Structures are given as C-alpha cells and as structure tokens.
Amino acid sequence: MKHDEKNWTPFPDSHEDAIHLDNIPVTEQTASPAYRLAYLDAEFMQSKGLRALRIGLELTKADHALRQRGIESTVVLFGGARIPEPGHAAWTAKNSTQKANLERASRYYQEARYFARLCSEHAVKCQNREFVIVTGGGPGVMEAGNRGAADIGAPSIGLNIVLPHEQVPNPYITPGLCFNFHYFAMRKMHFLMRAKALAIFPGGFGTLDELFEALTLVQTKRMKRVPILMFGKEYWQNVLNINYLAEQGTIAPDDVNLLTFVDSAADGWQTICEFYNLT
C-alpha cells in the first residue's frame, strides 16, 4: 500500500484484493460464482435485484468524473442526429422530400458548431469549469456541438446511450468525458444537473422529449430557470404551438416566455450573456 496517497487507508483496497484473487489456487470452491467478490461478479451485478444499485452507479460514475475535472456548469445541445454536415448527403432520408429538407437543414449543423465554439471560448476563460458543452454524443447536431468545442481545443462531454441500433460516439468528444448509459433517466439527470442553458436545434422525438422534460421541471420549479434557446424559429413554430396551449389555459400565459427563439449562434450566445451578465 502507498502511504503517500491522498486518501490513504490501512485497509487493502478493492484493486489489491482483485490482484490477490488472481493468484489463489483454482479449486472447486474458488471457481464457484458464490466465491467471487460481489463487485467482480458480472452476473450478480447485472441481476434484476441490483437494478437500484446500477441506477445509482450510472449517476455516480459520470458525476465523479465531472467533479474530478472541476466542471461546474454546462451548456446542453439537443437536436437531430439525422441532420448532415453541409455538403454531405442526408443518409437517413427515406424519400426525396426528407432528403431535400434534411440537406437544407444542414445549416443548423454549422450554427450548432459555431454556437458551441462561442460557449467554449468562454469556458476556456473559466479554466473549463463553466459553460462546458454537453451533447448526446451521437451524429448530426450532437457531433456539431462537440466539434465546435474541439475546434478551439476545449473539452466537451458526450452522454451516449445503448440503443438497438448501435450509437457510436462521435470523434469530437473528449475521450475522458465520453460516457455511456443504460438508463435514459440517469442520462437525463446528467444533461440537466449542471445545465446553465439549453440549445434546442431542430430534431425529432428525442429532442422534443428532452425539451418538454426541461420545460416541465422549470414550470414546476423543480429546476431553476435557465435560457432555453430554440434555434430555427420557422421550424419550431411549425412543430409547436405554445401560444395555443396558453390560450386553452393548459399552461400559464407567462409559460410561453420560457422559450427564446433565435436563428443564429451569435444571438443564442448573446442571450446567455445577457441572462448571466457575462462580459
């Protein structure tokens, strides 16, 4: 044991015990699953009875890594995984109409990339503790967000999740900040736990899911109000009719002001600066 470690203890740690077990004789008893240390027993750790523990571990693992890096706040980018980089084909399009619309929407890839760069430039001034970019880790707008941070050598976070159609992390995420989740709920927690702003680019069900979760938390005061930037006024006014909800009385009249519609990265960053009195 190293006596100069910051968190030194006289007790053997889990790594030492794991190494010790590699050197014991193999017998009928030591080969039994019952003999395995609990934290080394994959079958046990993945059992239904330990679901609550696994949920806690997913919350703790990413939180531990972010604390070690000193990351205190984030700017979250949500948006369509299917939106291509300008000049690239819309590979997910199912027909000519989708192809044309997705390729036209490629401008949002550029805006997301530039917006992430603006946020990251401020993050660098704060030793990468504040306004660090976080995305869902995939392609499209998510890739653009991580890429904008990488453009200036700033770190960025990717919160991936295991999906039936494998989601591969985009190459612009900082490797030590690239996480993978089994539970959507824990992933959502990490999107919002440190969020000082949300940037919502055109997207589909997943984007809408994250948007309405955040709106509900702010509306019910379970989350402090933060700028919720809706990039692409024309797109969102066709997808959402928030004013209709207010007219029907299903939301408060002031709830429509929780959303700020912007069309450029510069406008989005200016909104954040005004909200937090940044210079």
Q: Are 263 and 233 in contact (CB under 8 A)?
A: yes
Q: Are 159 and 187 in contact (CB under 8 A)?
A: yes
* Cross-strand partners of 231: 262
From the candidate CATH numbers 3.40.640.10, 3.30.43.10, 3.40.50.450, 3.90.105.20, the one assigned to the domain spanning 62-276: 3.40.50.450
pLDDT at 1: 43
The pair of structure tokens assigned to 140 is 């499209």
Residue 67, class by beta-carbon neighbours within 10 Å (0-12 exposed, 13-18 middle, 19+ buried)? exposed
Residues written for the chain: 279
pLDDT in tens, the chain (279 residues): 444 566 777 888 888 888 888 889 999 999 999 999 999 999 999 999 999 999 999 999 999 999 999 999 999 999 999 999 999 999 999 999 999 999 999 999 999 999 999 999 999 999 999 999 999 999 999 999 999 999 999 999 999 999 887 679 999 999 999 999 999 999 999 999 999 999 999 999 999 999 999 999 999 999 999 999 999 999 999 999 999 999 999 999 999 999 999 999 999 999 999 999 997
Question: Domain-by-domain residue ranges, the chain?
Answer: 14-46, 62-276
Q: And the tokens for 223?
A: 């989350």
Task: Please check whether residue 169 is in contact with residue 178, taking contact to mean a CB–CB distance below 8 angstroms.
Answer: yes
Residue type, 5: E
Q: How far apart are CA 5 and CA 141, in angstroms?
A: 42
279 and 128 Cβ atoms separated by less than 8 Å: no
CB 109 within 8 A of CB 86: yes
82: closest CA among 98, 97, 61, 64?
98
pLDDT computed for residue 5 by the predictor: 61
Task: Write the single-letter amino acid at 192.
Answer: L
pLDDT, residue 23, reads 87
Three-point CA angle 58, 60, 66, nearest 5°: 110
As a whole number of angstroms, the distance between CA 86 and CA 99 comes to 13
- Positive or negative torsion for Cα 60, 65, 70, 72: negative
pTM of the model: 0.93
Supply the pLDDT for residue 175: 98
Query: What is the CB neighbour count within 10 angstroms for residue 233?
Result: 11
CA distance 36 to 34: 6
Q: Tell me how many helices (H) and strands (E) the chain has.
A: 11, 7
